[in-house]
Chains A and B, each alone.
Chain A
Amino acid sequence: DSGVTQTPKHLITATGQRVTLRCSPRSGDLSVYWYQQSLDQGLQFLIQYYNGEERAKGNILERFSAQQFPDLHSELNLSSLELGDSALYFCASSTIAGPSETQYFGPGTRLLVL
C-alpha cells in the first residue's frame, strides 16, 4: 500500500458525460501527478500540482481539467467523454516537487466509456 488513495476504483459511463476522479496523496506529500494508461498510448503524464498550484502540464486534453484543494487532495475532471477516454487513470504523489523525488502511485481508477 503506497498510501495514495483514489476513488472510485471503477467507473462506467456513457459518451458525452462528465466524471470526476479523486485522489488523496500520502500524508505530508505536497505534489500530485495524474497519469493515463491506455492500451494504445501506454502510460502518459497528464498534469502536476504542487501545494495547490499547477506546476506542469503534459498531454492533457482541453476536455480534461484538474485542481488541488487546500487539504491537498486532487480531482481530475473529464468531460464530453469519448470512447477513447477509456483507460486507467493513476494519481501519484511525492513529498515535494523536484525530479529527484520518487513518485508513489495510487491503485488507479478504471474508466470505461460506453
Chain B
Amino acid sequence: AQTVTQSQPEMSVQEAETVTLSCTYDTSENNYYLFWYKQPPSRQMILVIRQEAYKQQNATENRFSVNFQKAAKSFSLKISDSQLGDTAMYFCATRQGGSEKLVFGKGTKLTVNP
C-alpha cells in the first residue's frame, strides 16, 4: 500500500526567505506521480506542483520547486521568496500507475511571518 509521510507538522519562515517542506513516500510501483497541494485558510485545495516519477528533471513552477530523490523516495518542496499568501497547509500526495486515487500525507502547516 502507498503511504506518504510528512514529518514536519508545523513550520514557519520569514517573508522573502526560502523554506523546504519534507515528504517521503513508500511505493512498490515504478510508475507513479507525486503532487504538492496547498490548502489556505479558505480550505480550497490548490495544486502547487506535480512530478512524474519517470522524469529525472525536478519540476519547477515559478517560486516553487521540488527535489525529487527517487531512490530515497523523497519529494521535498522548496518555496523561494516566501510571501504572506503562502501561509497554508501543504499536503504531499502520490498516485500510483495502477490506481487513480490520491494518497495524502498528514500535511505541514506553514506560516510566513512579516
CB pair B50–A102 under 8 Å, yes or no, is yes
Is A103 interfacial (CB 8 A cutoff)?
yes
A79 to B96, CA, bound (A): 31
In the complex, the chain A residue whose C-beta lies closest to that of B35 is A102
Chain B residues near A (Cβ < 8 Å)? 31-33, 35, 37, 42-47, 50, 52, 91, 93, 95-107
With contacts A42-B107, A43-B91, A45-B103 taken as known, whether A99 is within 8 angstroms of B98 at the C-beta atoms is: yes
**Candidate in A35, A99, A103 with the most chain B CB atoms within 10 angstroms:** A99
Chain A residues near B (Cβ < 8 Å)? 2, 31, 33, 35, 42-45, 48, 55-56, 58, 88, 90, 92, 97-105, 107-108, 110
CB pair B44–A105 under 8 Å, yes or no, is yes
A98 to B102, CA, bound (A): 11
Interchain nearest-CB distance for B101 vs A (Å):
4
